[in-house]
Amino acid sequence: MKSKMWDEEKIQSFQTVLLDWYYQNKRNLPWRADTNPYKVWISEIMLQQTRVDTVIDYYYRFMEEFPTIKDLAKADEEKLLKVWQGLGYYSRARNLRVAARQIQEKFNGEFPDTVENIRSLKGIGPYTAGAIASISFGLPEPAIDGNVMRVISRLFGIEEDISKASTYKIFDQILRKIISRENPGDMNQALMEVGATVSTPSAKKCPEWLQPFCYACAHNAHDKFPVKTKKAKPKDVYYLAGVIENKEHEHLLIQRPENGLLARMWHYPLEEVSSEKYKELKQFWYKEDTNQITLDLVAEDMAPEIFSEWPVVWQKRHLGEVTHVFSHLKWHILIFYGRARSDFFPENSQWIEESSFSSVVFPKVQQKIIQQFHKTHKVGQDL
């Protein structure tokens, strides 16, 4: 740490200036309407890995469907995931329900008011616990997220890599010394707000009111902080997707396994292939001739070698591709359309009309496939 820890006078000055700025400039966000711990909890979980403007509508819908901890504890998983659909990281929603049941069973339905008990809830880590404890219960607990790390690293010139777990202790020690004992929740939110709106990743310097406290501004080194090792590039994975329709115009959907990525969610059949096979099919199975689109020109021996054991006749072209990035994986998906020659029922599957898709929980990647299918597919004659 380049800068020395501030004395009490400087800490008091910083608290005053920061909170004054916050009260005048804070965004009007729905979860800031009150300090109800349930509402704070839901908003903080939603805001993980997700933009504020995206979360707002989801927050309103979630609160309409599950206005209390008891309602969330009793929630049907399909309904819960449907409300969450599009936010991604679906384990967050499942953990919310588990934690709500913990609150019902262990804390008589009342949200716990100590850091230790808050941390005992499923899916709640140090940041979320600090946010709830400070905002809802007035406890001087730091809430350290990426925005706060960026602000504090610039204020104090912290050169340690924020991607390392050991560095967290440095931020925790600093924040415990400078946090307001009278308004800890407001101060945590103020620091988050500064990181989100003022001391952004691309900011070259702080506004004038913050400059007297900022090491990075004093040394013209704003872009040097925070120090962070670049994430490893997500691994590329290649899939072929089969949009398969039967004579009743129902689509075949497959449910994901009980555990793992996109657990228990529904999507079109996927088959993993090598990058070489993917690129070969992408290049040679694309036809500009619109006559190739209609089903009178399909043939089984022209199938793109996917789901070969199924009685499906494939269209003689692919329908384009979509990509989707997870935290550690990048899916590349080439889409094909086919018609079932007879009924068949793969394991963990169902046939469903498009008009009923709204009742099924789809991950974002499945929604992308559906959009691409509608964009490029033309229905030919029935088989």
What is d(CA 197, CA 260) in angstroms, rounded to the nearest whole number? 35
What pLDDT is recorded for position 301?
A: 46
- Tell me which of 176, 194, 224 is where a domain ends: 224
- pTM of the entire predicted model: 0.83
Asked if residue 2 belongs to a domain, the reply is no
Question: Which of the following is catalytic: 8, 44, 159, 309?
Answer: 44
Whether residue 381 lies inside any domain: the answer is no
Any idea what the CATH number is for the domain that residue 260 is in? 3.90.79.10
Domain match, 139 and 247 both: no
Q: Are 380 and 294 in contact, with CB atoms under 8 Å apart?
A: yes
Domain that holds residue 239: 235-376
Pull the structure tokens for residue 43: 């908003």
Residues 80 and 190 in one domain: yes
Contacts of 96 (CB under 8 A, 6+ apart): 42, 45, 72, 80, 123
- Digit-by-digit pLDDT tens for the chain (383 residues) are 677 899 999 999 999 999 999 999 999 999 999 999 999 999 999 999 899 999 999 999 999 999 999 999 999 999 999 999 989 889 999 999 999 999 999 999 999 999 999 999 999 999 999 999 999 999 999 999 999 999 999 999 999 999 998 999 999 999 999 999 999 999 999 999 999 999 999 999 999 999 999 999 999 999 999 999 888 899 999 999 999 999 999 999 999 998 889 988 999 999 999 999 999 988 887 655 444 445 444 544 445 567 788 999 888 888 999 999 998 999 999 999 999 998 899 999 999 999 999 889 999 999 999 999 999 875 443 44
Active site residue 105: no
Residue 309's pLDDT is 85
Number of domains in the chain: 2
